[in-house]
Structure 1
Amino acid sequence: MKFLFLFFFTLYFLSFWINAQQTLPLPAQTLAEEFVYMDLNDALREPQKVYKLSLIGKKLNQFPSEILKLKNLQELNLSNNQLTQVPTSIINLKNLESINLSNNKFKRLVVPFDSLKFLKHLDLSRNLLDTLETSFRKAVPLENFSLSHNQFKEIPNDWQGLTAMKKLDFSNNQLVVLTDFIENWHQLEDLYIQNNQLKELPKNINKAKKIKRIFAQKNKLVNLPTNFGELNELEELYLSENQLMGLCDNFGNLIHLKTLDLHQNQLQKLPENWQKDGQLEKINLSFNQLVTIPLKLGEWKNIFKAELQQNKLTEYNLAITEWGKLQYLDMRFNQITKIPPQIQENQQLKILFLAGNQITNIPLEINKWLEINILDLSDNQMTNFPLSLLTLKTLKTLNLKNNQISTLPNNMKQMEKLNSLDLDNNRLLNIPDDLWEMPMLSRLYLNQNQLQELPQSLEKSTYLSEIVVRKNKIKKVNINLAAIKKLNKFDIAENPLSTLEKQRLTKAYPTLLIIL
């Protein structure tokens, strides 16, 4: 009898001692200060003190069983190895909060991750998985789950227990349908499903009330659920490179939306109903077939970046009357013949792209552009250099290539901040003698004009570092390039220079990059 008592007492003591080796997980703030072990042998010297282990890129092809001795381990990173399997016994590391198995060679994983009661972060991205043999029927604490860059065609039908999940990354797979379980994921904030084969979003997506960011670009979406406008917390929406022909009628209810990217779809019009006081800051509608911007969208006052290029917009249907905070506007390749008044009046504008339109002149009213830095007017129909541009004291980059400009004004030095001037493919016969007086001009592009010579006054330039005059009619370089102190590139290729002239230039300026 005494022997049995001693036997059971010993078992009890051993059990207590073993459990004592595993403590409760450290709180986040304490864990953040713990040392990260990067060598397994070092970690095994005092296994009970190891909370973080990182064996990134160790060329492992088998899971090191010694890891199972680290009973207090909370963070395990085995990414960038060659693992093909993980033992189910990993669930004996009961304190695990974060597991990173990304960029390995897993085709199949039979691990009951749902048994890890503290697991919050699980990264299985960049493997060869097409399914995951783990049930998440019961509620689990998992918050961040990444399965990107695998081969999933569908989300397993037993994941309704991911009720704590805040971020799900299923990007770069082969998904053709997104599960209706999304209505169970009440805490979901970030959904990454870009680069799949999705043709539609779940009809009950409106039940994911806390969702803030949706990345669904590069799919095959044709339309949106009719209740999509009920996602009241949505702040960022990326739907570019789909096949959308329209948006749901209540789309304008997304007043908390700050970033909207719809570029490269097949949109011909936008909904007319947009609620007041929208918080939208960045909008990309480029590469669609839009002919108008709705009046009520034009009343959203916080937009500072708008990309509207490659549509069918004209100055008459551009209702952006309240975009007074606009700093960046891209309207390349539309059907604009003159700069609309609402753009002329914008004093915050810093970057403006109007290339590929039908503009013939620039009004004097642009003198209100007090902060403009970059202006692109290339590929238009201007025959004269717009004198109104001389009023832009802050302009640094000006692109006027592919117009029909034949002369330049003599007082271009008024553009005192201009650093880069592109006049390629115009009809210039000469350039003014006082061009050198432009105090900040560094790059001058004059390709494909009718120039026969360069003015000697360029020798006085203090900032010019690059001169490009390809495809002109220059037979001889009659200026001293060495006098242009900062010049490091001179491109005069495809001009009718004689062989002797080419040899002279090469010999005269051995340290200068001359392209002949």
Structure 2
Amino acid sequence: MSRFKRADKVDSLAGFRAVTTEPTIPSGLLKAARKSGQLNLSGRGLTEVPQTVYRLNIDTPEEAQQNVSFGDSDRWWEQTDLTKLLLSSNQLVQLSDDIRLLCGLTTVDLHDNQLSSLPSALGELHDLQQLRLSHNQLSSLPVELCMLKNLCILTLQQNLLESLPEELGHLQNLTELDLSNNHLKALPPSLGHLTCLQKLNLCHNKLSCLPDSVGQLINVKMLDCSNNQLTEIPASLSQMLALEQLYFRHNKLHGFPKLSAPMLKDLCVGNNHIEQLEAEQLACLTSISLLELRDNKIKALPEQMTLLTSLTRLDLTNNDISTLPASLSLLPNLKVLLLEGNPLRGIKRDVLTKGTNELLKYLRGRIKEEPARADEGHTAMTLPSQATVNVHDLKTLKMLVYSDRQASDIPDELFDAAADHSVTTVNFSKNQLTSIPPRLVEIQSSVSDISLGFNRLTCCSDICKFLQLTHVDLRNNQLSDLPSEMKGLTKLRSIILNYNRFKSFPQVLYQIVSLETVLLGNNQVSGVDPGLLMKLVHLTTLDLSNNDLLNIPPELGLCSSLRCLSLEGNPFRTPRAAIVAKGTDAVLEYLRSRIPT
């Protein structure tokens, strides 16, 4: 008898478990989905998709079986096919083949789950236009996925993909493809068949080369191949005439890319092994606004840099440049020139620390031609210097400039004029500002570069609202601390804080992992935490010169990403001045040798 009781007990538990495995979805949500054609199940902790979802457009709803009296708005037989299914941020480990039952779907969002594979039935969703699969555990894609002829957007970033099916080229209506943060070592030649593609993100993979067919992507405007293992770029890239943004940061390129890109505005090839710039390569960059060449091995700049008449930002940080051509000062729109970490000769350090305007003025003075004549030429291309709003800068370059006016506030007409433009760069340097202008936050959504140097700022809390910020210049102010909310600036890559009143390394900077450049020279910093500094894995330039450092912690030598460490002008005894003079590599090696074993 006891044996039978035991068996009954086991059976009843099994039945109980079976009942609870099927997650329930509120009937009101399903009812609303039948009317709207949209069902949002994001963030519900689902481990599987309930059958009631797959059969939403097939099964008769429960209320129809209980009550035959319906109002005009409740006629279940007039339901709308489900077109949008959102299942993001759950715990789904698999997707059933029953997904084919929802044949009217145009959008499926499965990002942030635990999917390791996809059902082949996805290929039967012929109306699908958007498929979001980022932040999963996919190691491969079913070939059937490539049969989705109407697919426009496919996002697969943050997965485990090692290869892609050759049939990928069948997705001929694709306009956006994100394959970043995977384990891809090669791309299928059929990639070139995606001729409608406008945005292609391949960063953070293991690519050693790109297929020649990439040149067939004649409509691509943004191509990001950063953080790969590319040693060269195919010549066919010059056929991509629609390119506006091109990123090849953190690769192994030895040569500057050969391009024919009349629309290109942003070109970033920092952290490579480029040694030389050639005039004919620059001549093609007629629209270039941002040129990033930092952390390479460039030894000289050609005189033909003057061809880059649209250039507003030139980043040459951490190269081997010893001299600058004076003609660089003739670039009519150059507003930011970064040169930290170069062995420049013949230019005093105080000129370099005073900012771009002073440096360009110095270079203009070295031109044999009378400087006034060059100034007149520049003025003829823009509005008169006394004008409040520089319309050319605002409309063409997306720059809001009110610099060197010694003003205590910024006129409202500047912000009124900027309201209808997606301003990316703000320059309010060399004024008498004691706080960040309140109206500046009106354009926070688009601004990526702010210069507020040479003012009287004691606080900069509003800077935390600029979430797109990549560069900020706060040199020569009266700052003694930074707000903790700055940790939200996840895109910030460089910050200039020279000539302020910092007595310690700002704690919030340790939390901004995107930082590549931190300039804190000529303050009163008395210490730095190497343990926290090591977490800044992208930090290549750190200027702590002319501070109050009494000792340099040996563990600082473990910050292996540093390529330029400036420590001169501090009262420490070790490392000796002779070692400091040998440069960053010698200092880091010395510090590592002093770490206790």
Q: TM-score, normalised by structure 1?
A: 0.60
Matches of 1:398 and 1:309, distance apart in 2: 22
Shift of 1:371: 1.6
Partner of 2:48: 108
Deviates more, 1:275-284 or 1:216-225: 275-284
1:217 equivalent among 146, 157, 180: 180
Check 1:469–1:205 CA distance in 2 against 1; reply closer, same or farther (3 A cut).
same
Q: Trace 1:142-291 onto structure 2 (pairs within 5 A).
A: 142-274=105-237, 276=239, 278-291=241-254
2:329 matches 1:367: yes
Check 1:262–1:285 CA distance in 2 against 1; reply closer, same or farther (3 A cut).
same
Shift of 1:308: 0.4
Partner of 1:322: 284
Shift of 1:398: 7.4
Contact 2:478 2:501 in 1 (8 A): no
2:94 matches 1:131: yes
Shift of 1:138: 5.9
1:368-425 CA-partner distances (Å, limit 9, x unpaired): 32222221100001133279x89x9x946979xxxxxxxxxxx9xx999469xxxxxx
2:269 equivalent among 297, 308, 319: 308
Partner of 1:122: 85
Partner of 2:294: 332
Matches of 2:103 and 2:306, distance apart in 1: 56
1:265-286 CA-partner distances (Å, limit 9, x unpaired): 0000111224646100000001
1:414-467 CA-partner distances (Å, limit 9, x unpaired): 999469xxxxxxxxxxxxxxxxxx95486469xxxxxxxxxxxxxxxxx95453
1:450-505 CA-partner distances (Å, limit 9, x unpaired): xxxxxxxxxxxxx954533889xxxxxxxxxxxxxxxxxx94355899xxxxxxxx
Contact 1:114 1:134 in 2 (8 A): no
Check 1:383–1:200 CA distance in 2 against 1; reply closer, same or farther (3 A cut).
same
Check 1:367–1:332 CA distance in 2 against 1; reply closer, same or farther (3 A cut).
same
Check 1:385–1:98 CA distance in 2 against 1; reply closer, same or farther (3 A cut).
same
Counterpart residue identity of residue 205, structure 2: N
Matches of 1:384 and 1:267, distance apart in 2: 36
2:350 matches 1:357: no
2:357 matches 1:382: no
Structure 2 counterpart SS, 1:383: coil
Structure 2 counterpart SS, 1:273: helix
Matches of 1:417 and 1:202, distance apart in 2: 54
Matches of 2:225 and 2:305, distance apart in 1: 22
Shift of 1:293: 3.4
Matches of 1:227 and 1:182, distance apart in 2: 15
- Structure 1 residue runs without a partner (length 5+): 1-60, 75-93, 400-410, 420-437, 446-462, 472-489, 498-516
Matches of 1:202 and 1:311, distance apart in 2: 30
Check 1:135–1:300 CA distance in 2 against 1; reply closer, same or farther (3 A cut).
same
Check 1:294–1:354 CA distance in 2 against 1; reply closer, same or farther (3 A cut).
closer
Matches of 2:160 and 2:28, distance apart in 1: 41
Counterpart residue identity of residue 160, structure 2: Q
Check 1:66–1:383 CA distance in 2 against 1; reply closer, same or farther (3 A cut).
closer
Shift of 1:294: 4.4
Partner of 1:95: 35
Structure 1 counterpart SS, 2:192: helix
Shift of 1:167: 0.7
Contact 2:302 2:325 in 1 (8 A): no
Matches of 2:195 and 2:327, distance apart in 1: 40
Q: TM-score, normalised by structure 2?
A: 0.52
Contact 2:265 2:287 in 1 (8 A): yes
Shift of 1:226: 1.4
Structure 1 counterpart SS, 2:124: coil
Matches of 2:282 and 2:547, distance apart in 1: 50
Partner of 2:256: 293
Matches of 2:167 and 2:547, distance apart in 1: 69
Shift of 1:161: 1.4
- Structure 2 residue runs without a partner (length 5+): 1-22, 58-79, 361-370, 376-384, 386-401, 406-428, 433-451, 456-475, 480-498, 504-521, 527-545, 549-597
Partner of 2:542: none
Contact 2:524 2:547 in 1 (8 A): no
Check 1:168–1:341 CA distance in 2 against 1; reply closer, same or farther (3 A cut).
farther
Contact 2:430 2:453 in 1 (8 A): no
2:309 matches 1:344: no
Which protein is bigger by CA-based radius of gyration? 1
Matches of 1:252 and 1:168, distance apart in 2: 25
Contact 1:188 1:208 in 2 (8 A): yes
Check 1:444–1:118 CA distance in 2 against 1; reply closer, same or farther (3 A cut).
same
Contact 2:256 2:276 in 1 (8 A): no
Contact 1:346 1:368 in 2 (8 A): no
Structure 1 counterpart SS, 2:329: helix
Matches of 1:67 and 1:154, distance apart in 2: 28
Matches of 1:67 and 1:120, distance apart in 2: 15
Shift of 1:172: 0.4
Counterpart residue identity of residue 48, structure 2: R
2:524 matches 1:492: yes
Contact 1:125 1:146 in 2 (8 A): yes
Structure 1 counterpart SS, 2:267: strand
Partner of 2:563: none
Shift of 1:133: 2.7
Counterpart residue identity of residue 332, structure 1: R
Matches of 1:219 and 1:268, distance apart in 2: 19
Matches of 1:320 and 1:355, distance apart in 2: 19
Matches of 1:105 and 1:131, distance apart in 2: 14
Structure 1 counterpart SS, 2:146: helix
Matches of 1:317 and 1:263, distance apart in 2: 22
Q: Give the paired residue count.
A: 346
Structure 2 counterpart SS, 1:182: helix
Matches of 1:102 and 1:378, distance apart in 2: 47
2:408 matches 1:468: no
1:314-342 CA-partner distances (Å, limit 9, x unpaired): 22458232111110111001111122344
Structure 2 counterpart SS, 1:299: coil
Contact 2:430 2:454 in 1 (8 A): no
Counterpart residue identity of residue 187, structure 1: N
Matches of 2:240 and 2:226, distance apart in 1: 23
